[in-house]
Amino acid sequence: MKILGLLLMAAGWGGPMEVRVDDEVCATYEAKLAGEELVVRVKLGKGWHTFAMDNAVRAAEALKGRKALGMDQPTRVTVGEGLTVNGGWRQTVPVDFSKPELRIFTWGYEGEAVFVVPVKRVGEVGKVGVKAQACTASICKNIDVKVEVATGPAESWPKLEAVRLPD
């Protein structure tokens, strides 16, 4: 493991996974086990945004049965080996990016967001998977990465709300 990765893990976050478009970082993902919670953090590059875990549920409620003209991909996190989910996901309260006049309904984040779930440790903690989409005003990048999970102290997070996933 690289020395930088060791230092970051000692600080409580797994080594960052940068996602680039050309030479520009559009998103950086990190994960940690903080007490009994798995926390996945995304930091977005300037001009980039990403989407809430429950984007589809929110859009369906706003559309009230009408067809969407556009649908952004929600953020999905797959809990990896060594952990089992022990409750529901919570996420930073998302911003409404919707354009109702175009029948586009979407919620997400600029800057930074965290996704948190209670977990039980059942073995050696490894990696979590993240599938998401990051966009600017002109392009979108589909993301499918594995992120190292570090172990750190419990923390308090910014205001979080429950994620409502489709049945």
pLDDT tens digits, 73-112: 899 999 988 899 999 999 999 999 988 887 788 899 999 9
Mean pLDDT of 138-160: 81
Query: Could you read off the pLDDT of 25-64 as tens digits, one per residue?
Result: 999 999 999 888 999 999 999 999 999 999 888 888 887 7
Helix ranges (H only) for the chain are 3-10, 55-63
Residue type, 89: W
Rounded to whole angstroms, how far apart are CA atoms 76 and 128? Answer: 10
Determine the 3-state secondary structure of 136 from DSSP. coil
Residue 129 has pLDDT above 80, yes or no: yes
8-state DSSP, 64: T
Write down the pLDDT at residue 110. Answer: 97
DSSP state of 48: -
Q: Where are the beta strands (DSSP E) in the chain?
A: 17-21, 24-34, 37-44, 49-51, 76-78, 83-85, 90-92, 95-96, 107-110, 112-121, 127-135, 140-152, 160-162
Q: pTM for the full model?
A: 0.83
Partners of residue 60 on adjacent β-strands: none
Mean pLDDT computed over every residue of the chain: 84
